[in-house]
Amino acid sequence: MSGGYRQQPGGSGPTTRKDGKRVAGKQSFPPPGSGGSRPHMKPRDLDFIPESVGGKEEQPAGSHIHDRARTGTTVGKEIPLVDSNAKVTGQAWYGDDVRLPNEIIGKILRSPHHYARIKSIDTSRVEALPGVLAVATGEDSPHRFGVLPVTKDEHAMAVEKVRHVGDLVACVAAVDEATALEALNLFEIEWEVLEPVFDPKKGLEDADEPIHWRGKYHLSKTNVQKRVFQEFGDRSLVDKPHAESHGKWSMAGVHHGFTEPHAVVAHWGPNGRLQLYTPQQVPHYTHRALSTVLDVPMHQINVIRTFVGGGFGGKSDPFPHEMCAAILARKAGRPVRITFDREEVYWINRGRHPSHIEVKMTADEEARISGFDIDALIDGGGFASFGHVTSYYNGVLATAPYELGSFHYTGARVWTNKPASGAMRGHGAVNTRCAVEVGLDEMAETMQVDPIDLRLANLLPPHSRTISGFRITSNGMREALEKVREGSNWDEKFRQMPLGKGIGIGCGFFISGSGLPIHWDPNRFPHATVHIQVDMDGGVTVHTGAADIGQGSTTAVAQVVSEVLALPIEMIHVRSHESDTSPVDLGSYSSRVTFMNANAAIRAALEIREQLLNAAWEILGYHPDNLVLNDRRIYYKHDPAIGVSYLKALHKAQEDKGSLIASGAYRSPPMGGVHKGAAAGLAPAYSFSAYVAEVDVDVETGMIRCTDVWAAHDCGKALNPMAVKGQIIGSCHMGLGQVLSEKMVYGRTGHLQNANLLDYKIPSVHEMPHVEPIIIESCDPEGPFGAKEAGEGPLLPILPAVVNAVYDAIGIRLRDLPLTPDVVFKGIEKTLKNSDVEDPLDLPSPRLTHSSLQPTLVARAQEHKLRDKARQRTEDTSPYVNGVLFGFDPTIPLEDQVEGWRTATEPDPEQLAELGLAGRAWLKKEQREMGGEN
Amino acid sequence: MSCCLSNSGIPYVDMRAPPRRLWRQNMVGSEHIEMIPSPKKKVWSAQVNGTPVEVLVPSNAVLLDVLRDKVGTLGVKRGCDLGTCGCCTVMVDGNPRLSCLCLAGQVEGSVITTVEGLADGAHLAPIQSCFAEHGGSQCGFCTPGFLISAQALLNENDSPTDKEIACAIEGNLCRCTGYQQIIDSIKGAAAIHRGEVEAAAPASDPHPDPHPEGPEEPNMPPGHAR
Amino acid sequence: MLMPPFVLHNPTTVEEACAIAGSLMEKGEDFDWVAGGTDLLPNYKWHLNPKPHVISLARIEGVNTLSLHEIGCMARLADLTVENGIHPLIVEAASKVASSLIRRNATLGGNLCLDTRCFWYNQGEDWRRSIDWCHKADCGTGADCRVVPNQNTLCVATYQGDIAPTLMVLDAEVHLIGPSGLRTMPLQEFYQLDGMKKNVLEKGEFLLKITLSEASAARTGSYQKLRVRDTWDFPEAGVAASWIAGDATSLKVATTALESIPRCHPEEVTSVLEAGWDGMNSVKALAAAVRKSVKPVNNTSLPPRYRKSMVRVLTKRAVEKMIE
């Protein structure tokens, strides 16, 4: 008990001395944490402590490994983002707000041609212009870079060829903007104009001069950047369908539309190190690319992530302008700032791929989904970017949440002479998901069953495996569907509303972190690392490389540390801006930050906690198992009066070693199959969501107004419900834009026609429906306190929900996104033409009479509900794989049970003839097979 | 020539056609707009956030550029520069105005309030604290503009309806929040303006809490107990 | 998006403004007028036909009058959205213009003199260089029109103002002033068919105010605007209708955002009236006739075929609402 003390509960006798001071050891207040009347005696917040450790927080999914680390401090509470005060006072510093002394302004010369070879660049007149301090061209940047190591195809500035209008050709830095702009006009360039490709279908064919050349891996002489073939399951099941749906979709490219244009400031410091300020989601990849392009070791570069004014995937590539700024700054010896105009933002793009998607699906007589057949041709634009992954995601992320009899996917991504497509919120999954969910709606219609019941009766249970081998852990899909059905009053509205009013359902499924890091072998490095340092002042400094792009990752990390250490969140200081001080982090993409960083942070915080508890043990004499942390105090579980302050314990712990330092890391468990591409779409957890949308359609004009959305999202555990709701509503907004009004318009000459925010139509406050965010907590066994992602998945369901609602309203299936009024009007006109109806106001609206399948489905859903509940609570731990619904035994490999069951990543020769649009890429041979050069 | 339009009016892009002239990037004749020399600079004065400022600006200066580059109020954001996004909204003589579409010369001598001028020292204005509390700000880039639009609304009307709020912020673009939590924030601030709700203690207020010692230690240094 | 250099003039009286214009014309220097700046500044930022001088009307006293019978050129659209004596039809149209923030800057004069728009034209300088310029902003190259090629004489950019059609159906008169004095004309005659010339304003002239007669003030009507979003967007098509309540012969219809100028449709109205007014059937016939008479081209967000079809719906709705 050395150094310890006891506080005596209040009692008899005087508590103050004659001179007014307190009598030692006699406290007139109830012990802290015991629930006295004064606010600072508030007890542990039992409402936010799980049942399994004695609190009152309900745990429908059972206990969680992190339950013991819960202190009821911040997790699960609606608290403001920790950086929100910086944002509301105008102090948040974004890219263009970095103003270094002596800065000069950089501008980029952009290609006026879609596709052209640069024969010569004469910069002499540029250099002669007074005020110009540095000029750079492709010659200054011979090294290639790219976000994926397998597809490095970008240069800081065009080397040899430009690949789209707006591609970077050269750059200048001058004393002011006017001089820099004037200088751009003095470049003398000779071009050889080449024949461009705009139509992705054309990209599948051989070209005289493919946009990139991949040597022996190049596919014939096409512009195909990546082709994918995946086939799982028993294809014989689809031969005699009871119902089927076949839809050909054309989806326009969409842009992230973040409000902050790209900006970068580069400065080579006095010691020759590069400081690069950039609003990046993924500073680490920029760091790597800079090192390659500049030929400077990584440790000589400090990448400083500024506040990011919206990313959504659009700020996750290493960008050529970042390289340009660094090159110019090195040449000029002064800090260089480059800020984009909105037009340039659209030219650098990386938005969602314009896609041609074909989905065929079939169901058997029991309304089980016997097959998905997906073909996705995606338009990659001029560069690879994340496209390699997108090519996979378009297929494989459709393998859940439903149990499938078979799955067949062909995908191809082609280069075209347009701004490069890349990753955007809901990466790769959004378009296919829309097509699949609308297909299900159509099948339900053919089978005359309720589409929600069709889904409920075909869901994969928790703790199961998809047909492609993804490991599903927690799964709140069923609950999400039930909640939106109830909330929206679905049963009274569906197929029962008058013409022009409709209601529709859509579901979503998304990864929560990518199981395979892009740049390294997970066996050598962890996915995420977080450092915590606690010095004698008691403040906790957390170092993480996670990039807060407004989604609140800094807050999430601060919250989990605050939760574990039972400290007010104001005492947690997250340092995440500089690569010099942050442990390497993969950045904010694939919805990995909450899951991976918060897990790493918990691990580090637990280490600190252990040290504190050991110190308290020494002081109080009670074993840590019997000690409780609550609001800056550690005390004996059974008598809160016996305790020690956090600061005392900290000082005790520091006695011999100074400040407490801990490093926590997260690495995802080994998972997945071994087939080619098995890693794409693998994630340690998956999120699920279901939305119901209600729309009004003006049948005379084709205008669609979405009025209400019930949005249920399974995020495992809402660490901060306010932030989760914000993500859900925000996702609705973005998805609604894609389905109703947003598109990148490439005119007849291949030019991007609407590179500004007036003509690129992001919904305004008036277009926004009322969104009812519904948080589903399935408590993921591996997630931090059970949490999973909530940033991207919620975008997926809104598209199909709206498309399905439009069908419910006017009885027309539209498959051209976005559903701008002219598209809808065209659909209405066509329908009128094909029927006897003259006035659109007399169109029939669809109605539903249930078939005999409906009760079967309801019964099966009911049965599955019990099954899922038992599995979710791990009362039933028997293995479950996709296929059990079709009568397979999950303990025996499926291949051994039925002859037709296969896993293939290349088409059989006899399949070649019947492949879809993108599948045609498989008719081509790689150069090495053709005996080509290299 | 890169692209042509055919005689029949049917568009085509013929990239193999021989160039009409050697395609050079630089101008031939007046093929671009001259950017320099800039017009003569003049002293421009105004009252920004309560402080008189006098800066030297060119005659064609835009208010947004003056505020960001000369006055140093970097809280005013440039999103689209064409009047759509509303990130650059500032109050000019009490009216919310798009500073990217205001010539500095047209508003010379006026009283300008930017986001930096909303708080009273370290004490946040209700609209600011409500944006933080209700999640009205995610990435935060559009926030300064929204705050000014919202504050201007609340100055005129402390009990706005949902419709009135929507109309007040229809010129501001937010890509993160879907507007719903912004509307909640404005409603929350309106309630404070009406005096129905007490403003939460501003977290940016320099304050002793949280002291690492915790609230109820007997040997807590004086001045830290609450 | 730096604007090219220009000198801003800030006259405080109409006379001074005219004098500045006169002296610039004498010196052979080109100039533009600027009122609210919401139309001119984006164009200048895109380097679209900038001039070395810009004369601001913002500080001129007495040109922002607001009453039922007279509205000054500098009246802010935001003030026109409040029904304090302004004609309700103007209020309806003004409140549909762009966004509430734009309306704080934008003025009546600016809206009536709005530059015509086209997606081959409203682009940055780099962008327009990549299409080798266009007829409307050819930078000295003599470039062809990109919308309707090979004619090289007419610019078909679309006039996308909201208020002009409503003022037309209210028989408003415009008052123009310049170094050579004041002139007045019906608004219908103000616009001139060409996307570049746009209107009858001579160099040095500007639109001073509009006036409404007693008879106009007695009219009621409606304005229907087609746009994808309820804010920001220019009209993709717009139809205004007005009448003296109950008197079908007084019916007037005007359209906007379909051609290079807004215009009234007296012939279509007359032909329908000649057949005798027959309630909804006449409305339908009128709607079909107006639809037939407009010729939108492909230079705005929505396809021209659709915009044309919508004229029928908009006309029908405008007249229906007017009759209500």
- Output the pLDDT for position A176: 94
Closest CA to A339 of A173, A576, A141: A173
* Distance from C-alpha of A568 to C-alpha of C318, rounded to nearest angstrom: 60
Say if A926 is an interface residue toward chain B (CB within 8 Å): no
Q: How many CB pairs under 8 A join B and C?
A: 135
Q: Is the pLDDT of residue B10 over 60?
A: no
> Is the CB of C228 inside 8 Å of chain A's CB atoms?
yes
> CB neighbours (10 Å) of residue B34?
16
- In chain B, the residue whose alpha carbon lies closest to the alpha carbon of A26 is B218
Radius of gyration, CA atoms only, chain B: 25
Across A608-612, A680-684, C37-41, C285-289, least confident range: A680-684
Confidence band for A589, pLDDT divided at 50, 70 and 90: confident
Q: How far apart are CA C22 and CA C40, in angstroms?
A: 21
Q: How far apart are CA A113 and CA A107, in angstroms?
A: 18
* pLDDT of A878 strictly over 90: yes
What residues of chain B lie within 8 A of the CB of C105, using their CB? Answer: 83, 97-98, 101-102
Rounded CA gap, C235 and C300, in Å?
A: 9
Indicate if the alpha-carbon torsion angle A794, A800, A803, A805 is positive or negative.
negative
Residue A263 C-alpha, separation from nearest chain C C-alpha, in angstroms: 14
Query: Which residue among B31, B86, B103 sits closest to C101, beta carbon to beta carbon?
Result: B86
Mutate one of C115, C147, C228 to test the A interface: name it (highest A CB count within 10 A).
C228
- Ramachandran angles phi, psi of B111, nearest 5°: -95, 120
C4 and B100 within 8 Å at the Cβ level: the answer is no
Interface contact A259-B215, CB threshold 8 A: no
Interface residue B29 vs chain C (CB under 8 A): yes
Is the pLDDT at B90 greater than 60? The verdict is yes
C298 at the B interface (CB within 8 A)?
no
Whether A754 sits inside 8 A of C99 (CB atoms) is no
Interchain proximity C126–A166, CB inside 8 Å: yes
pLDDT, residue A240, reads 85
- Measured between beta carbons, the chain A residues lying within 8 angstroms of C233 are 758, 761
* Mean pLDDT lowest among A33-37, A236-240, A480-484: A33-37
Cα(A106)–Cα(A405) distance, rounded to whole angstroms?
57
Measure the CA angle with vertex C318, ends C317 and C323; round to 5°. Answer: 95
Q: Which of B175, B187, B217 is most worth mutating to test chain A (most A CB atoms within 10 A of its CB)?
A: B175
pLDDT at site B88: 97
Looking at residue C270, its amino acid is T
In the block, which residue shows the tokens 């690392």?
A529
Cβ <8 Å between B171 and C99: yes
Q: Does C59 touch chain B (CB under 8 A)?
A: yes
Cβ pair C228:A761 closer than 8 A: yes
Contact between C102 and C93 (Cβ < 8 Å) = no
Residue B19, pLDDT above cutoff 50 = no
- What residues are paired with A510 via a beta bridge? A687
> Which residue from A177, A343, A758 is facing C124, i.e. has the nearest CB?
A343
**What type of residue sits at position C117?**
R
Q: How far apart are CA B169 and CA B172, in angstroms?
A: 5
Best to test chain C binding among B20, B32, B112 (most C CBs inside 10 Å): B32
CA A773 to chain centre: 18
CATH architecture of residue range(s) A534-666: 2-Layer Sandwich (3.30)
Cβ-Cβ contacts under 8 Å for C121 (sequence gap 6 or more): C48, C128, C134, C136, C137, C157, C299
- Which residue, among A259, A307, A629, would best test binding to B if mutated, counting the most B CBs under 10 Å from its CB? A259
B164's CB contacts (< 8 A; 6+ apart) are B153, B157
Residue among B114, B177, B216 with most chain A CBs within 10 A, to mutate:
B216
DSSP letters for A837-868: --SGGGPPPP-----THHHHHHHHHHHHHHHH
Picking from A89, A339, A552, the nearest residue to B119 by CB comes out as A89
Give contacts of C231 with chain A, Cβ < 8 Å. Answer: 764-766
Q: What is the DSSP letter of A488?
A: T
Q: Which ranges of chain C have pLDDT less than 50?
A: none
CB-CB neighbors (< 8 A) of C124 in chain A:
341, 343, 755
* Mean pLDDT value across residues A577-594: 90
CATH of domain B41-116: 3.10.20.30
Q: Measured between beta carbons, which residues in chain C are less than 8 angstroms from residue A417?
A: none
Whole-number pLDDT of residue A23: 56
Q: Does A651 touch chain B (CB under 8 A)?
A: no
The pLDDT, as a whole number, for residue A22 is: 58
Check whether the bond before C52 is cis (ω within 30° of 0).
Answer: no
Sign of the alpha-carbon torsion through A871, A875, A879, A884: negative
Residue B145 banded pLDDT, cuts 50, 70, 90: very high
C130 inside 8 A of chain A by CB: yes
What is the average pLDDT score of chain A?
92
Rounded (to 5) percent helix, strand, coil in chain A: 30, 25, 45
Which domains are present in chain C?
A: 1-59 (3.30.43.10), 221-323 (3.30.390.50)
Q: Which helix (H) or strand (E) holds C169?
A: helix C163-169
A523 contact partners, CB below 8 Å, separation of at least 6: none
Residue of A nearest to B148 (CA): A88
Q: Searching chain C, which residue's CA lies closest to the CA of residue B148? A: C101
CB neighbours of residue A313 within 10 Å: 26
Cβ contact B142–A259 (<8 Å)? yes
Is A86 in the B-facing interface, judged by CB distances under 8 Å? yes
- For residues A641 and A661, the model is more confident at A661
Q: Would you say A398 and A411 are in contact if contact means Cβ atoms under 8 Å apart?
A: no
Per-domain residue ranges of chain B: 41-116, 126-193
Cβ contact A686:A472 at 8 Å: yes
Contact A267, A274 (CB under 8 A): yes
Q: How far apart are CA A366 and CA A364, in angstroms?
A: 5
Q: What contacts 24+ positions apart, CB below 8 Å, involve A742-747? A: A742/A252, A742/A254, A742/A255, A742/A257, A742/A818, A743/A252, A743/A253, A743/A254, A743/A817, A743/A818, A743/A820, A744/A252, A744/A253, A744/A254, A744/A255, A744/A346, A744/A349, A744/A351, A744/A354, A744/A419, A745/A252, A746/A198, A746/A418, A747/C119
User: Which pLDDT tens digit goes with each residue over A325-334?
Assistant: 999 999 999 9
**CA–CA separation, A828 and C159 (whole Å):** 29
Residue B1 has pLDDT above 60, yes or no: no
- Encode A543-552: b = buried (16+ Cβ within 10 Å), e = exposed: bbbbbbbbbb
Write the pLDDT tens digit of every residue in B52-80: 999 999 999 999 999 999 999 999 999 99
A775's tokens:
């948080």
**Quick one: CA dihedral B182, B186, B187, B188, positive or negative?**
positive
Cβ distance of A825 and C226 shorter than 8 Å: no
Q: What is the pTM of this model?
A: 0.94
Length of chain A measured in residues: 934
What is the phi/psi pair of residue A159, to 5°?
-110, 125
Q: What percent of chain A has pLDDT over 90?
A: 82
Interface touch B37/C131, C-beta < 8 Å? no
DSSP secondary-structure letter at B39?
Answer: P
Round to whole Å and give the CA distance between A871 and A864. Answer: 10
- Which value, in Å, is the radius of gyration of the alpha carbons in chain A? 30
Half-sphere exposure of A151 (CA within 13 A, CB side): 24
ipTM comes to 0.95
A window 30-49, beta carbon within 8 A of B:
32, 39-41
The pLDDT tens digits of the residues spanning A503-545 come to 999 999 999 988 877 776 666 788 999 999 999 889 999 999 9
% residues pLDDT > 70 (chain A): 95
Which tokens in the block code for residue A833?
């033409």
For residue A111, what are the CA distances in angstroms to A15, A37, A350, A464, C178? 83, 71, 18, 51, 44
- Partner-chain contact B13 A650, CB within 8 Å: no
Preferred mutation among A21, A87, A172 to probe B, highest tally of B CBs within 10 A: A87
Q: For residue range A92-145, what is the model confidence (pLDDT) as tens digits?
A: 999 999 999 999 999 999 999 999 999 999 999 999 999 999 999 999 999 999
Strand C53-56 versus strand C31-34 pairing type: parallel
With residues binned 3-state (H G I as helix, E B as strand, rest as coil), the percentages for chain B, rounded to 5, are 25, 15, 55
pLDDT in tens, A826-862: 999 999 999 988 999 999 999 999 999 999 999 999 9
How far is residue A499's CA from residue A748's CA, in Å, rounded to a whole number? 36
Q: How far apart are alpha carbons B135 and A729 in whole angstroms?
A: 11
**Residue B55 host element (H or E):** strand B51-58
Chains that contact B by 3+ CB pairs under 8 Å?
A, C
* C232 neighbourhood in chain A, CB within 8 Å: 758, 764
Reading across the β-sheet that carries C31-34, which strands appear in turn? Answer: C7-9, C53-56, C31-34
Which residues have CB under 8 Å from B138's CB, separation 6+? A81, A310, A550, A551, A552, A726, A730, B176, B177
C99 vs A contacts (CB less than 8 Å)? 764
How far does C229 lie from chain A, in Å, by closest CA? 7
What pLDDT was estimated at residue B28?
A: 44
Cis geometry, peptide bond prior to residue A721 (ω within 30 degrees of 0):
no
Whether omega for the bond prior to residue B210 falls within 30 degrees of 0, making it cis, is yes
User: Of 1.20.120.420, 3.20.20.10, 3.30.365.10, 3.40.30.10, which CATH number belongs to A448-516+682-898?
Assistant: 3.30.365.10
Q: What are phi and psi of A371, to 5 degrees?
A: -165, 140
Residue B168 is nearest to which of C47, C100, C132, comparing CB atoms?
C100
Instruction: Give the integer Cα–Cα distance in Å for C17 and C204.
Output: 9
Fold match, A448-516+682-898 / A534-666: yes
Of the candidates C59, C100, C146, which has its C-beta nearest B171's C-beta?
Answer: C100
- How far is the alpha carbon of A842 from chain B, nearest alpha carbon, in Å? 32
CA distance B108 to chain A (A): 23
In this predicted structure, the answer to whether residue A39 has a pLDDT above a threshold of 50 is no
Q: Which residues of A touch C302 (CB under 8 A)?
A: 820-822
Interface with chain B: mutation pick from C1, C29, C101, highest number of B CBs within 10 Å: C101
Residue A759 forms contact with C (CB below 8 Å): yes
What is residue A139's three-state secondary structure?
Answer: helix
Residue A694: is its pLDDT beyond 90? yes
In this structure, the number of other CB atoms found within 10 A of the CB of residue A849 comes to: 7
- pLDDT tops 80 at residue B207: no
Q: What is the pLDDT of residues A258-314, one digit of tens each?
A: 999 999 999 999 999 999 999 999 999 999 999 999 999 999 999 999 999 999 999
What pLDDT score does A41 carry? 52
Higher-scoring residue by pLDDT: A536, B98:
B98
Distance from CA of residue B55 to its chain's centroid? Answer: 21
State which fold the B126-193 domain adopts. DNA polymerase; domain 1 (1.10.150)
Helix/strand/coil percentages in chain C, nearest 5: 30, 20, 45
Exposure string of A176-211, with b = 16+ CB inside 10 Å and e = fewer, is bbbbbbbbbbbbebbbebbebbbebeebbbebeebb
Confidence of residue B23 (pLDDT cuts 50, 70, 90): very low
Query: Which two tokens mark A61?
Result: 């999914």
Q: Which residue of B has its CA nearest to C36?
A: B102
The DSSP symbol for B103 reads: B
In chain A, what are the domain boundaries?
448-516+682-898, 534-666
